[in-house]
Structure 1
């Protein structure tokens, strides 16, 4: 059986009922509390929040009251404990729910919460199912089946249950589940012994006896397994050790069970004999017949003493390699150069070598080099290690492979094939019997090779990388500079080879501080040169993969590394490479297959940080500055055309897209929903590239300014506002320094509205003055009219009402003269908001109605949402609260249809206030709680503060004054 301390993150049998739904929630409590949605692990937050989830999980599908949760989390709950619970629940919903406005996984129920889980999605429930099934198999006399089921049950543990969780409930459950684990292990060992498989349990039982020396039933099972394996003296030694330990620890003698078994072993009673079991296959029948002795091959390279991290993955691979399924276990480990594939494979192979007593075979296939190993030569070496004389080894690869498979029938041999080039190289080297197991490492994915388990190896986690630095360079040095150690790991991209190289340099230079090494790695142009010592060189490892590339793939590898940000889409790759999108995607996919790119989503490609540096060095060497600048300008213009196309579908009829990009410069989106999906995925890359071009001298500043102008639609949607504000400010200063007032006006126009959205009113008012001046100088009326309304909106508390109204009247007149209906409606809508702020509610309502009619006629769904909101606000001010509520609900429905969440907190707060005014505080609480959940998800602290304020007032209206005051206090502290 596998080491029972081992368990992969999500056992194949765990969550089997969830196969039909990729979003199925699965929870583990038999170890650190963890959760998955499909294949994606969820971030469950801090320990106490996880402890709350653990309580709900252990009571799955049953209501857990607030009082029970309080008692489970705290010995003495603090004064604001209920508010803290509500916050935890909101954060958990943000992680667990697919529809955050209608909680289904974690709804409130009867002054508490209930966690709705499907059957088979909680590991502790799976444990009970497996255990019960094993009991039925045992009652029917099928001990082998019982042992298999109990093995599956035991493998569900992955450490101490509820590890690291605070609170009385976790402490009590930890003790109960630990005892439950001992019972399950004991039942497994009994079933294995009942099936006649005594030798296979000795190692496991020895470990458990060492960990729990006072558990006498475990010692009895170990004694019996040893005796049945012909190791009588060791069995009696277990009894002697038990007598000594029990006497020293407790002052008692062994119990009756141990004493009776001891006497039975001394008398060699026939009742102790094992039930029949199949004979073990000899290692080499040819050698036995000739009377010679042949030792099993043991070809594994030495395991490294400082192997660090990847504990769960090691347990997972151990479990796969030692499983007894219908097919031979075949594990593939792929990944970029330097990520630690070979180190992991060798470490795992050593950890399971005892399960393969007939030997371990190893071959370095040199797949990343220019002279990959010939499978025929590898087979000849394997056959020689298995006792086949040179003269008896056939000549052809096919014949050698057939003999190799024949030699392995019935034997338990582990084969490690390191650094494979492709499937054609690997296939002849695979055994044909399920008693063997194979580990293959490769920089490519080997998609055509059927495997039991594929691992796309990623860099280390930060703490794992820091531990590796400490192991190599010295723990005291890391303890003295913990932050520098983390910075060092980040500079190495958490790549094991890079971390090992940097730490090895430190190890040979004891006078160096870690911070000194961090400073040396800070310069990106020198970083790869610094990551070289002795035979360790990160760039050399990358070069092996690069040298395999065709000329067109090599150029793609270089050029796609140019833009900053979170990678490139296939469309962006096409712009960089000046190729059709389909051809660019083909090249990117080929780089992904070789481990030089990763593909987190279909059609999107990313570099590891160090690989990006390596590729950029190659650009400077092989392309030159002119090619680099031309590629970045192509990409910037591509983004400009795409964002302009997005603007056309999100705000149809508005003039800005036509100011910066001609119609048809890029194919448009199918509709606003498709456009917004693109924006959520691609806008971070667009913003990163715009900022990059703005920083580099000689870049196309005018193009970036135009891009900044059409990115203003993000503010309409409430998306990426702080990031856009930072970019617009940078572009504004760059265009001012370059003497480009026309472009400066466009950048400052976006900056103005971003500052207003972030409630930085004083700065927004200052920018409005500058924009108006620049627009009058450069004749940009399309920007001037709405800028005047922005000035009015930001100056309401700092000017006379008449002055604000005059600015709005001038704006409306200018927009009417421009003749663009959408722009005119927008200016009217902003003027309506000014009227609301000034208390001119009837003119505001009239303007909102006119703008709404125009937006409906143009098919502008976003404009319609804004005007429906403005109309609802005016209706609330006029005391028409029910009509206002209906307007806010209409806004919410439209936002859901657009899959746009960022504006929802503000609308929900408006709904809550109108519900309060209409005398329905319970509905107000519901709306405000939804606003809080979504505000925590989408960001901007003032949205959360507004939601807390609305919730606090509604709770007070409802009579829950303590909760209400707590929310109001929290809102005040966050503003």
Structure 2
């Protein structure tokens, strides 16, 4: 390189010395008195570029260096970290190459293309150059080619330009330990990975894992946006996975790495579950793991971990449905039930649970299929999709009704479903079965849940005294077990029963305490439901202004049960507004409720029929003897099966 630079500066071949130091000295002498910009592209490290840098004798000369390596040992350097382009910048670069008019006509497709390029200038340049050289192609043709992740890197090639070739340069410079880490980390799903999860993938302790990950960050093959978490650029991740597939022990290495990651997530999720639900023996029925899992000092720390890892944990599930991992994957769904109950990841949870159901069914694995369908039914009951929930839960019992986990939990949720559909005798039968199954398993937390559900059933059928007694029995168990979130569920159930018994001040104390606990546990849907119950209680106490405040909070937070739940909140808010003398706003809420009811187009749940049965001249009655959650865990009324997520 020095020889080429010297020739460019007018030095004859005969005058160029042999040694590097001598050439560097002559090169710097040639720069004196000149104004030169030295561009050093894709430099390997500081040692490679030092001989090429101007010195103090050439103050008007500067060097611009691009490199994947953070050259912290380069004197007098001014580092600038370059991120990917913004979407508008990416569009402008693409349009510059293919022509602005052509790009503008298919702007949406162009944005798909640059997104597939992960907004990297080189990838965008290659994609645009390919399109520019093929006048018969539309942008949508190119977008379709790049949509397939398996072929994307191969498609990003034009002449001697290739994204993969750039990555090959960096990968080729890695030592064996770095190369292994690079390959295996690409297997993990999710937007990023924690240091602990990365250690599980690699099978290394935290110190060695941290050293390897830092070395990959230093050469820009890995990013660390926040301390302790790491991520690949999207195209780099695809390249890492390609590297993992071409290794000699590729299949075995991938399976071992993912198995270790699954063990880490299952063991840690089980610890979170146990910390949140003291006395719940379900974790004792989960598959054993080769990882001890993380330890947490507080319930808050445990939940913080679960919600921070939610995307990564769920992304692990569909990757681990093979013969050796499938059972643990099904159990991970149960261990991570808080993600379903909180409403944090309902779509993702449903998708991966269905993947496990399908894989277990295809393999004839009835135990795993039963547990996965039980988890799926649990989610459906929480979102008010009672038809879907009943189908999955009944199928779970048919598949493996002897499994203590399925026998107790599926029966419990079926009781909730039957009650929500107004089939009270079926509900009582299922809930009694659940209570017996929980007691047979010495599962106190489950027993408390079943008691709470029976309480709700009794209250709905006018048996208020026994409803209060059952709710208080469940709450007493939760108090003894000391589980904050489950204690909140117990408080919530007692509060509803006391409201129906017209013991309103006692109800207010229980519901207010439940609200505080739900807020601390990061359960926004439960917060919304508790505000709804407080609005009902204040209406019954003839305090409409307080009822309005709580109903508005409930409407903002949402609740379990989908659009029928929103309908219930709107009707209670309308009644409260009417009582507070805000007739115009009340009428607007009632119009929204009517429109919502018409849009749903399916038969009302029983609670909604009761809401509508006694109407004011302009509004439905607010009194609702059995609205919302049917469980110490709780769900709302069914939403329309055709559009459950609106």
TM-score between the two structures when normalised by the length of structure 2: 0.81
Change (3 A) 1:467 1:969: farther
Choose between structure 1 and 2 for higher RCO, CA contacts under 8 A separated by at least 6 residues: 2
Change (3 A) 1:923 1:422: farther
Change (3 A) 1:525 1:519: same
Tell me which of 182, 203, 216 is aligned to 1:578.
203
Deviation at 1:961, TM superposition (A): 2.9
Deviation at 1:451, TM superposition (A): 8.7
SS at the partner of 1:633? Answer: helix
SS at the partner of 1:600? Answer: strand
SS at the partner of 1:702? Answer: helix
Separation (CA, whole Å) in 2 of partners of 1:439 and 1:960: 68
In the alignment, is the contact (CA less than 8 A) between 2:367 and 2:399 conserved in 1? yes
Q: 1:960 aligned to 2:618?
A: no
Deviation at 1:819, TM superposition (A): 2.0
Separation (CA, whole Å) in 2 of partners of 1:482 and 1:939: 39
Change (3 A) 1:805 1:899: closer
Change (3 A) 1:802 1:945: closer
Match of 2:479 in 1: 856
SS at the partner of 1:441? Answer: strand
1:438-453 alignment to 2 at 5 Å?
440-447=65-72
Change (3 A) 1:835 1:731: farther
1:703-750 Cα offsets, whole Å, 9 max, x none, are 211111222233343432332222222212321221111111111111
In the alignment, is the contact (CA less than 8 A) between 2:281 and 2:441 conserved in 1? no
1:886-905 alignment to 2 at 5 Å?
886-905=509-528
Deviation at 1:682, TM superposition (A): 0.6
Change (3 A) 1:535 1:399: closer
Tell me which of 470, 477, 487 is aligned to 1:847.
470
Q: 1:805 aligned to 2:434?
A: no
Separation (CA, whole Å) in 1 of partners of 2:78 and 2:227: 22
Change (3 A) 1:390 1:728: closer
Tell me which of 502, 515, 522 is aligned to 2:147.
522
Deviation at 1:752, TM superposition (A): 1.0
Separation (CA, whole Å) in 2 of partners of 1:541 and 1:835: 68
1:529-570 Cα offsets, whole Å, 9 max, x none, are 221112321111111211221111011111111122213222
Change (3 A) 1:822 1:384: farther
Change (3 A) 1:845 1:512: same
Match of 1:490 in 2: 115
Moved more, 612-621 or 830-839: 830-839
- Structure 1: any 5+ residue segments left out of the alignment? 1-372
Q: 1:637 aligned to 2:263?
A: yes
Q: 1:548 aligned to 2:173?
A: yes
Q: 1:619 aligned to 2:241?
A: no
Separation (CA, whole Å) in 1 of partners of 2:7 and 2:593: 72
In the alignment, is the contact (CA less than 8 A) between 1:379 and 1:404 conserved in 2? no
In the alignment, is the contact (CA less than 8 A) between 2:451 and 2:474 conserved in 1? yes
Work out which of the two has the higher radius of gyration on C-alpha atoms and give 1 or 2: 1
In the alignment, is the contact (CA less than 8 A) between 1:379 and 1:400 conserved in 2? no
Change (3 A) 1:525 1:724: closer
Separation (CA, whole Å) in 2 of partners of 1:925 and 1:435: 72
SS at the partner of 1:686? Answer: helix
In the alignment, is the contact (CA less than 8 A) between 1:501 and 1:537 conserved in 2? yes
1:179-231 Cα offsets, whole Å, 9 max, x none, are xxxxxxxxxxxxxxxxxxxxxxxxxxxxxxxxxxxxxxxxxxxxxxxxxxxxx
1:225-244 alignment to 2 at 5 Å?
none
Match of 2:411 in 1: 788
In the alignment, is the contact (CA less than 8 A) between 2:384 and 2:561 conserved in 1? no
1:804-832 Cα offsets, whole Å, 9 max, x none, are 22332232223222222222222222322
Match of 1:562 in 2: 187
Separation (CA, whole Å) in 2 of partners of 1:738 and 1:690: 16
1:563-583 Cα offsets, whole Å, 9 max, x none, are 222132222222221212321
Q: 1:906 aligned to 2:532?
A: no
Tell me which of 660, 672, 686 is aligned to 2:313.
686
Separation (CA, whole Å) in 2 of partners of 1:969 and 1:928: 16
Q: 1:646 aligned to 2:272?
A: yes
In the alignment, is the contact (CA less than 8 A) between 2:300 and 2:521 conserved in 1? yes
Aligned length in residues: 588
Separation (CA, whole Å) in 2 of partners of 1:726 and 1:526: 24
Separation (CA, whole Å) in 1 of partners of 2:543 and 2:61: 70
Tell me which of 381, 388, 394 is aligned to 1:756.
381
Deviation at 1:448, TM superposition (A): 5.6
Moved more, 907-916 or 962-971: 962-971
Match of 2:299 in 1: 672
Match of 1:736 in 2: 361
Deviation at 1:497, TM superposition (A): 1.1
SS at the partner of 1:499? Answer: helix
In the alignment, is the contact (CA less than 8 A) between 2:44 and 2:67 conserved in 1? yes
Deviation at 1:621, TM superposition (A): 1.2
Change (3 A) 1:820 1:448: same
Separation (CA, whole Å) in 2 of partners of 1:756 and 1:567: 31
In the alignment, is the contact (CA less than 8 A) between 2:109 and 2:140 conserved in 1? yes
Separation (CA, whole Å) in 1 of partners of 2:243 and 2:230: 19
Separation (CA, whole Å) in 2 of partners of 1:921 and 1:396: 90
Separation (CA, whole Å) in 2 of partners of 1:924 and 1:378: 82
Separation (CA, whole Å) in 1 of partners of 2:558 and 2:159: 52
- Structure 2: any 5+ residue segments left out of the alignment? 601-646
Q: 1:875 aligned to 2:501?
A: no
In the alignment, is the contact (CA less than 8 A) between 1:716 and 1:862 conserved in 2? no
SS at the partner of 2:264? Answer: helix
Deviation at 1:390, TM superposition (A): 10
SS at the partner of 2:66? Answer: strand
SS at the partner of 1:645? Answer: helix
SS at the partner of 1:846? Answer: helix
SS at the partner of 1:903? Answer: helix
Change (3 A) 1:454 1:951: farther
Deviation at 1:680, TM superposition (A): 1.3
SS at the partner of 2:340? Answer: helix
Match of 1:721 in 2: 346
Match of 1:834 in 2: 457
1:810-863 Cα offsets, whole Å, 9 max, x none, are 322232222222222222223223333333332222122122121221121121
Separation (CA, whole Å) in 2 of partners of 1:940 and 1:427: 64
Deviation at 1:634, TM superposition (A): 2.1
Tell me which of 650, 653, 660 is aligned to 2:286.
660
In the alignment, is the contact (CA less than 8 A) between 1:721 and 1:757 conserved in 2? no
Backbone CA RMSD of aligned residues: 3.7
Match of 1:227 in 2: none
Change (3 A) 1:903 1:624: same
Deviation at 1:520, TM superposition (A): 2.5
In the alignment, is the contact (CA less than 8 A) between 1:718 and 1:902 conserved in 2? yes
Deviation at 1:418, TM superposition (A): 4.6
Match of 1:917 in 2: 540
Q: 1:537 aligned to 2:166?
A: no
In the alignment, is the contact (CA less than 8 A) between 2:6 and 2:27 conserved in 1? no
Deviation at 1:644, TM superposition (A): 1.1
Moved more, 744-753 or 892-901: 892-901
